[in-house]
Every structure is written in structure tokens, then in C-alpha cells.
Amino acid sequence: MYTFDTRIRYSEVDSNARLTIEALIDYFQDCTIFQTQGGPASISYLKENKLAWVLSSWQIDVNRYPKLCEEVRIGTIPYELRGAVGLRNFFMDTADGERLAVANSVWTLVDLDKELPCRITDEIKGAYELGEKLDMEYGSRKVAIPKEGTRTECNPIEVTKQHLDTNKHVNNGQYVRMALDCLDKEDFEISGLRAEYKKQARLGDVLYPVVIKSKKEDNDVYTVSLNNSEGDSVCVVELI
């Protein structure tokens, strides 16, 4: 397990002075980078060996969004490494131990030259002490696009430099930001998020968002498919 403590910043909150879902994702992503940079399997190691961890899916469940200046602890627990796949939990707690949010994530180690999954190296395995997976209701890693519901096509989005990460493709959190920008409800409080990353988008690519509004157990569900020019899903985001 790796944790770090912080306070919620003004730049991370919405108009109600509560943490945004995008900022929560950034915290989780930063947490795994902090842990990775502290060991031998750092970003420099990956770059030198032409490797990269690519996120395959997110599942995030939110109990409560912390408020401006609230003290929080963010943690991550790698709990399984097998083949080319790494599984990792995340959590955000208050200073008093209230569980604010919990997440599961699936990562694939990719050979950048071959652009194919590759077996996890001994150096990477040795960099992480595996822990027990967190108690949460684990959903499917696949995000299905509803066949029924209200369908809306949104304005195309061109990938610019601000969307990219160190691997030169769109950062996983940026896809979620794009999906949120397509929603027409400003007061929609997200209690659950799932995202499936199917392809990589790079600088200059154009994504064509499609939003399907449906129902699940009387709750509004927004599924956003960010498609490429061929109509294939690059990323699918489900928001509840």
C-alpha cells in the first residue's frame, strides 16, 4: 500500500466547493505515479525499456465528495500482477478515516515498439508489494453501450497537446473530462463511474462523442462513447 495526505485545493472544486470527479481521478493517478517513482520501475525505467503501462478500465464508486480545504488521504494497493496485466485499487479517506471513494483499475504493460502487450518484467514485479484487494462491488471491466435510450451526437473534439501524457497519447483522465463536457446536466452528481479504454488517441486525432441517456434502477445513466473517424469506440465512459 502507498498513501499520501493532502488538502482539497480551490483549483479542484466545483461551484459548490466540492471536489470534482476529474480531480478525484487525478489524485488516484498521481498516487500510482508517486509510488512508481519511488522504486526501480519508474517512468525513466519504462522509457529506457520502451514499455508503458496503459489503463484498460476504471471503476470508481463515490460515497461523498470532500469539500474545499478538507484534509484527505489518498491510497493505492496493487493486488495482482500476472502476464501483462496489473490490478490496482485506490481509495480516498478523510483524516478521520471516513471512506469517501474507492476504485478498481486494470492496467496492461505494452511494448511500445511492437505496440503489443508484454509480460511483466522481474524488475516491475519486485517494485511492488502486493496487498489484499479492497472490499467493493466489482463490476464488469467492459462498458456496454445501451441499445435503448436517448441518443445525442456532440461536437467533434480534436486532440491537442493539453490532452497528452508522457506516453504521447490522450491521458485517461482527459477522456473523462471530454465525456463530462458532453452532458447537458450541470447538477448531475456522479456516484459511480466506469470507463473502458479500447484504443489510443494521439495528437491531431478527432473524436466524435455520442451520448446515450438511459435508466438503471430508476437512476439516470449517461454512457458516452468517444469514437474515432471510422466510428469505432476509443473510450466508453458510463456515469451514474
In this prediction, residue 137 has a pLDDT band, given cuts at 50, 70 and 90, of: very high
pLDDT at 117 over 90: yes
Euclidean distance between CA atoms 41 and 236, whole angstroms: 29
Mean pLDDT calculated for residue range 107-130: 93
pLDDT of residue 219: 85
Q: 150-239 is classed in which CATH architecture?
A: Roll (3.10)
pLDDT of residue 233: 96
101 beta partners: 62, 92
pLDDT at 229 over 80: yes
In this prediction, residue 102 has a pLDDT band, given cuts at 50, 70 and 90, of: very high
Euclidean distance between CA atoms 172 and 175, whole angstroms: 6
**Tell me: the pLDDT tens digits for 13-67?**
999 999 999 999 999 999 999 999 988 889 999 999 999 999 999 999 999 999 9
Same fold, 2-127 and 150-239: yes
Per-residue exposure over 201-217, b if at least 16 CB sit within 10 Å of its own CB, e if not: beeebebbbbbbbbeee
Q: Which amino acid is at 221?
A: V
Q: For the chain, which residues make up each domain, given as ranges?
A: 2-127, 150-239
Q: How far apart are the first and last CA of the chain?
A: 28
Half-sphere exposure of 29 (CA within 13 A, CB side): 18
Mean pLDDT calculated for residue range 102-120: 95
**Tell me: the pLDDT tens digits for 153-211?**
999 999 999 999 888 889 989 999 999 999 876 667 899 999 999 998 999 999 999 99
pLDDT at 150 over 90: yes
**Tell me: the pLDDT tens digits for 67-94?**
999 999 999 999 999 999 999 999 999 9
HEC states along the chain? CEEEEEECCHHHECCCCEECHHHHHHHHHHHHHHHHHCCCCCHHHHHHCCEEEEEEEEEEEECCCCECCCEEEEEEEEEEEECCEEEEEEEEEECCCCEEEEEEEEEEEEECCCCEECCCCHHHHHHCCCCCCCCCCCCCCCCCCCCCCEEEECCCEECCHHHECCCCEECHHHHHHHHHHCCCCCCCCCCEEEEEECCCCECCCEEEEEEEEEEECCEEEEEEEEECCCCCEEEEEEEC
Per-residue exposure over 177-195, b if at least 16 CB sit within 10 Å of its own CB, e if not: bbbbebbeeeeeebbbbbb
Q: Which CATH number fits domain 2-127: 3.40.1180.10, 3.40.50.300, 3.40.50.720, 3.10.129.10?
A: 3.10.129.10
Mean pLDDT, the chain, whole residue set? 94
pLDDT of residue 189: 86
Say whether pTM exceeds 0.85: yes
Helix axis angle, 21-37 relative to 172-181, nearest 10°? Answer: 180
Q: What angle do CA 8, 65, 137 make, to 5 degrees?
A: 130
Percent of the chain's residues with pLDDT above 70:
99
Euclidean distance between CA atoms 125 and 103, whole angstroms: 22
pLDDT of residue 228: 95
> Are 238 and 222 contacting, i.e. CB atoms less than 8 angstroms apart?
yes
